[in-house]
């Protein structure tokens, strides 16, 4: 069973889940996510699969926000695996638009369920891809965590957006997007509803953001047309990433939406892509300065990488 321990120096929760050490290295000839495994329906398009080794669990004791030295509390929450396709060997970059649209539909449905759960404060839809990231399962999938608290980096981002909004009534994301569109040098691609660009301040090599053109807060606020546009830009961006160095890009994809509870009109839906490949042969490790100090050394320049990605074949 997982527990949360309070880090009094950094003022954040650490999820201690010793049972996750027992995660098996999957046998090469069997995958629980494949139709016929007995673990998933024999016939599915996309599927929400409960994580077998959860960091957060519905069975854990309830979460209490009280903090202090040597404080622990229950890691109550949810963790699901989102299966993008029944096809074991498909890369996310090979999903059809129709399939991406189904994945987005599942993200929206699960987000709505978790927003209605009184114990969930924040819903993180994300994907870890690539052996270099530590993914043990090649089957195309992402994950959804329902947190009993707002995780610290999201809390910091929410504070920044809220403070900016209080200062001049504007949305910090809308302003950044307008400046990026005007400048153009860091734009990778765009469509009616979304813009993909490499942020001026990116921390990871070839870090990218997909930002909604319209100001809205969460997945469920998207119109049908916007969801279709998002599917199309996700597909394009993933193809470009995998073609950049000629092999699947190891990356983290993080969907950023408003917290599950309360009104957050200052927040603006976006997706961050955090790749860890800094050149065809080199991985970016989060070493002393990043892990120990929280300052990132980015070995790529957003302007140069964006120019290269604009030219990169999206096929
Ligand atoms: Zn599989
Ligand atoms: Zn906005």
Opening angle at CA 72, ends 70 and 74, nearest 5: 175
* CB of 277 closer than 8 Å to CB of 249: yes
Other beta carbons within 10 angstroms of residue 57's beta carbon come to 18
Q: Which pLDDT does position 139 carry in this prediction?
A: 94
Q: Kindly report which listed range (54-63, 91-100, 157-166, 270-279) carries the lowest average pLDDT score.
A: 54-63
**Nearest residue to 253 (alpha-carbon basis) of 130, 77, 149, 159:** 130
Point out the residues that are catalytic. Answer: 141
User: 26 vs 313, which has greater pLDDT?
Assistant: 313
- DSSP, residue by residue, 122-168: EEEEEEEESGGGT----S-EEEEEEESS--HHHHHHHHHHHHHHHHH
Percent of the chain whose pLDDT exceeds 90 = 87
| pLDDT tens-digit map of 99-118 | 999 999 999 999 999 999 99
Q: How far is the CA of 31 from the centre of ligand 1 (A)?
A: 4
- Whether the predicted pLDDT of 314 surpasses 90: no
User: 190 vs 131, which has greater pLDDT?
Assistant: 190
Q: How far is the CA of 183 from the centre of ligand 2 (A)?
A: 18
Q: What is the mean pLDDT of residues 240-256?
A: 96
Q: How far is the CA of 177 from the centre of ligand 2 (A)?
A: 8
* CB of 302 closer than 8 Å to CB of 186: yes
Q: How far is the CA of 87 from the centre of ligand 1 (A)?
A: 7
Looking at all shown ligands, the one closest to residue 173's CA atom is: 2
Which pTM does this prediction carry? 0.96
Q: Kindly report which listed range (50-64, 65-79, 269-283) carries the lowest average pLDDT score.
A: 50-64
Q: Which pLDDT does position 135 carry in this prediction?
A: 83
Q: Could you give the CA distance from residue 273 to residue 234 in angstroms, rounded to a whole number?
A: 10
Q: Could you give the CA distance from residue 64 to residue 75 in angstroms, rounded to a whole number?
A: 9
Other beta carbons within 10 angstroms of residue 66's beta carbon come to 8
Percent of the chain whose pLDDT exceeds 70 = 97
Q: Residue 23 has which token pair?
A: 């995660």
Q: Could you give the CA distance from residue 107 to residue 84 in angstroms, rounded to a whole number?
A: 11
Looking at all shown ligands, the one closest to residue 170's CA atom is: 2
Q: Which three-class secondary structure state does DSSP give residue 7? A: strand
Looking at all shown ligands, the one closest to residue 164's CA atom is: 2
| pLDDT tens-digit map of 153-191 | 999 999 999 999 999 999 999 999 999 999 999 999 999
DSSP 215: -
Q: What is the mean pLDDT of residues 245-259?
A: 97
Query: Which residue matches tokens 């990026």?
Result: 180
Q: Which pLDDT does position 27 carry in this prediction?
A: 67
Q: How far is the CA of 117 from the centre of ligand 2 (A)?
A: 26
């Amino acid at each position: 069973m997982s527990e949360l321990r309070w880090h009094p120096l950094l003022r954040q929760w650490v999820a201690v889940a010793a049972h996750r050490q027992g995660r098996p290295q999957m046998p090469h000839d069997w995958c629980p996510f494949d139709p016929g495994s007995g673990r998933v329906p024999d016939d599915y398009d996309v599927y929400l699969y409960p994580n077998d080794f959860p960091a957060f669990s519905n069975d854990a004791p309830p979460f209490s926000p009280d903090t202090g030295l040597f404080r622990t509390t229950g890691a109550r929450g949810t963790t699901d695996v989102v299966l993008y396709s029944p096809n074991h060997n498909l890369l996310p970059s090979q999903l059809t638009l129709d399939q991406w649209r189904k994945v987005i539909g599942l993200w929206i449905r699960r987000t709505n369920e978790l927003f209605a759960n009184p114990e969930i404060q924040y819903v993180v839809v994300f994907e870890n891809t690539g052996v270099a990231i530590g993914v043990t399962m090649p089957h195309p999938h992402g994950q959804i965590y329902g947190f009993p608290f707002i995780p610290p980096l999201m809390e910091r981002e929410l504070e920044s957006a809220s403070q900016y909004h209080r200062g001049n009534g504007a949305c910090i994301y809308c302003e950044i997007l307008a400046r990026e569109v005007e400048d153009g040098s860091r734009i990778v691609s765009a469509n009616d509803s979304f813009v993909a660009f490499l942020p001026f301040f990116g921390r990871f090599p070839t870090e990218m953001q997909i930002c909604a053109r319209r100001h809205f807060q969460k997945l469920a606020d998207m119109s049908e047309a916007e969801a279709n546009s998002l599917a199309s830009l996700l597909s394009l961006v993933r193809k470009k990433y995998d073609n950049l160095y000629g092999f699947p890009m190891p990356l983290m994809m993080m969907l950023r939406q408003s917290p599950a509870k309360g009104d957050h009109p200052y927040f603006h839906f976006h997706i961050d892509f955090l790749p860890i490949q800094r050149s065809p042969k080199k991985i970016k490790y989060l070493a002393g300065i990043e892990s120990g100090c929280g300052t990132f050394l980015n070995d790529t320049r957003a302007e140069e990488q964006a120019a290269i990605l604009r030219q990169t074949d999206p096929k």
